[in-house]
Amino acid sequence: MIPYSAVVLSIEESDEKILHQMTYEAVKQSIPAETYANQTATAYQKEMEQNELYFNQQLPFYKIRPLYTSLAYLVHKTGLNLVTAIVIISALSSLFMSILILRWLLDYLDTFYAYLFSFLIIHSTGIIQIARAFTPDALSAAILIGAMYVLKQRRMYFACFLLVLAIFARTDNIIFVLIALTYLSLFSAYRLNWRASLFFVVLSALSYLSINHLANNYSWATIFHHTLINLINNPADYHPNVTWIDYLRVLKQNAFEAFLWVNSFFVFLLCAFISVSLGDNNKIYSHLGILMILSVL
């Protein structure tokens, strides 16, 4: 919540000391005192509240979601408080996903079963939970699911545009996007020609590199250590050495959560199951299923 608030405010305020002060004042005014206390309770959070230098060193981790923060900025400019402006992006994205899932199922199921299965999907995959989250997860998932739905309609170029757009919501979507573009250019029954494939691959790579460059983002090792091993107060001054042993240890520790409890896993796995199951009715669905299963793996 607090770092994304700072990124939104940094669009107009560049002075680090003023930005730090503005951020905590804006958040404090936007949420109950108890919630604010929870947001500043740990040693790491207290350090961020008290030290504007360390706090501003955290922001590159969050500036690499420019679509999310830009939309929050636009909503904030309508007059909503900063925290509400941020969370409303997640709420609207989750609503869009819910409507799209229902519309998708209505194409192939009777009305009763379409509503029933959409209800089960929405309540079992965490869509409701991420609707209240102060993260770009809902926006990212909404764009990716939208791209898959458009792909089902064989609107290939629009689908590829949405895939690239998803990188601006979360840069780690580059993995899914490159898998999708590779599949669409080599294996799909509705293949992109090589020029279009090359264009979207290059556009995706340039988007990813540009976002990280403009955000002054840190190395992969720093991000990995900060996210999965231990929070770093001063990432600009800290240069961790992550070995394959570290990577495998973290993978082992988080494997259960990564493959059983991550919300997006359930969304894509269930969509893949439906896609493969309906493959005989619409051939492109079998391709969507393979694509999603590869992305999960």
Give 89-108 pLDDT, tens digit per residue: 999 999 999 999 899 888 88
Structure tokens at 297: 């793996």
Residue 263, in any domain of the structure: no
Can you give the pLDDT at residue 228?
A: 79
CA–CA separation, 92 and 266 (whole Å): 20
Whether residue 276 is predicted with pLDDT greater than 50 in this model: the reply is: no
The pLDDT assigned to 193 comes to: 82
pLDDT tier, 259 (very low <50, low <70, confident <90, very high otherwise)? low
Collapsing DSSP to helix, strand or coil, 189 comes out as: coil
Total domains present in the chain: 1
Residue predicted with more confidence, 250 or 20: 20
The residue-averaged pLDDT of 266-290 equals 52
In the predicted model, what is the mean pLDDT of the chain?
83
41 within some domain: yes
How far apart CA 97 and CA 197 sit, in angstroms, is 27
Tokens 């990995």 sit on residue: 224
| pLDDT band for position 155 (cuts 50, 70, 90) | confident
- Report pLDDT for 83: 92
Task: Render pLDDT for 106-149 as a digit per residue (tens, 0 to 9).
Answer: 888 888 988 988 888 888 777 888 888 889 999 999 999 899 88
Token pair 């690239």 is found at 164
Domain assignment of residue 21, yes or no: yes
In a domain, 121, yes or no: no
Confidence class for position 201, pLDDT limits 50, 70, 90: very high
> Residue 252 falls within a domain, yes or no?
no
**Residue 3 belongs to a domain:** yes
Torsion of CA 156, 157, 159, 162, to 10 degrees: 170
The winner for highest mean pLDDT among 200-204, 218-222, 227-231 is 200-204
For position 152, what pLDDT does the model report? 81
Burial of residue 47, with CB atoms counted within 10 A of its CB: 0-12 exposed, 13-18 middle, 19 or more buried: middle
Q: What are phi and psi of 238, to 5 degrees?
A: -115, 130
pLDDT-derived band at 288 (thresholds 50, 70, 90) equals low
293 pLDDT above the threshold of 70 = no
* pTM of the model as a whole: 0.83
**Is residue 16 domain-resident?**
yes
Q: What is the mean pLDDT of residues 39-52?
A: 91
Which range has the worst mean pLDDT, 44-58, 147-161, 254-268? 254-268
Q: Amino acid identity of 280?
A: D
For 6, the token pair is 């700072």
What pLDDT, on the 0 to 100 scale, is given for residue 205? 96
- The answer to whether residues 191 and 174 touch, using CB atoms and an 8 Å cutoff, is no
Task: Print the domain residue range for 48.
Answer: 1-58
Q: What is the pLDDT of residue 280?
A: 47
Per-residue pLDDT, averaged over 200-229, amounts to: 90
Residues 6+ apart with CB under 8 A from 57: 233, 234, 235, 236, 237
Closest CA to 264 of 185, 172, 183, 181: 172
Nearest to 107 by CA among 247, 294, 274: 274
Give the integer Cα–Cα distance in Å for 26 and 82: 7
CA distance 120 to 105: 12
In a domain, 32, yes or no: yes
Rounded-to-integer distance, Cα 32 and Cα 43, Å: 21
Average pLDDT on 26-50 reads 90
Which class for 255: exposed (0-12), middle (13-18), buried (19 or more C-beta within 10 A)?
exposed
**pLDDT-derived band at 17, boundaries 50, 70, 90:** very high
Q: How confident is the model at residue 270 (pLDDT cuts 50, 70, 90)?
A: low
CA-wise closest residue to 138 among 73, 102, 94: 94
Residue 31, helix vs strand vs coil: coil
Q: In this predicted model, which residue has the larger pLDDT, 257 or 253?
A: 253
Residue in the structure block whose two tokens are 């764009």: 143
pLDDT reported for residue 297: 47
Q: Is 216 left (phi over 0), alpha (psi -120 to 50) or beta?
A: left
